């Protein structure tokens, strides 16, 4: 009887914690997401990687982070896309695949939803801002060279 009482106390103690996820597990889940943005991420993969039940991860993540795991993944992918768009080397379709979207149109739809602009417009605006703050005359030029 004493054993049954102890196990009931353990269950009650876990239930009293609510959907809390220990900070270390939350950090591990976030790190796993950021390290694997280019992959198709599922609750089961992330939960397995951090060693917790998928349901507990989902509920605990929302409770601790204030957003669902899916929302966090999307937000991370959009932020990474923004960083890549600031560099001119990659095309938008390539960036979409690099950050884990299935195609350019999926990136564009979610990018517009989260930022209010398209990836192409964001890239253009970023390039204009970079030009505005670039040193006048380019690299290595001097005013005496222009005076000659």
**pLDDT exceeds 90 at position 14:** no
In a shared domain, residues 56 and 85:
no
Q: Is residue 29 part of a domain?
A: yes
**pLDDT exceeds 50 at position 148:** no
Sign of the alpha-carbon torsion through 54, 55, 60, 63: positive
Whether the CB-CB separation of 60 and 17 falls below 8 Å is answered with no
Contact partners, residue 47, CB within 8 Å, separation at least 6: 29, 53, 54, 56, 57
Of 8, 32, 66, which one is at a domain's C-terminal end? 66
Range of the domain at 40: 17-66
Please give the tally of structural domains in the chain.
Answer: 2
User: What is the C-alpha to C-alpha distance for residues 73 and 33, in angstroms, rounded to an integer?
Assistant: 7
Q: What is the pLDDT of residues 35-82, one digit of tens each?
A: 999 999 998 999 999 999 999 999 999 999 999 999 999 999 999 999
Mean pLDDT over 112-131 rounds to 90
């Amino acid at each position: 009887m004493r054993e049954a009482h102890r196990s009931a106390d353990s269950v009650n103690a876990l239930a009293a914690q609510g959907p809390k996820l220990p900070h270390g597990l939350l950090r591990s889940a976030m790190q796993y997401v950021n390290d694997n943005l280019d992959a198709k991420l599922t609750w089961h993969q992330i939960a397995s990687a951090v060693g917790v039940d998928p349901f507990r991860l989902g509920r605990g993540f929302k409770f601790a982070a204030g957003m669902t795991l899916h929302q966090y993944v999307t937000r991370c992918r959009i932020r990474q896309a923004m960083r890549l768009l600031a560099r001119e080397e990659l095309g938008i379709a390539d960036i979409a695949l690099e950050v884990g979207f299935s195609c350019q149109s999926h990136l564009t739809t979610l990018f517009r939803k989260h930022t209010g602009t398209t990836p192409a417009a964001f890239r253009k605006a970023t390039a204009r801002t970079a030009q505005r703050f670039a040193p006048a005359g380019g690299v290595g030029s001097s005013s005496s060279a222009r005076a000659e």
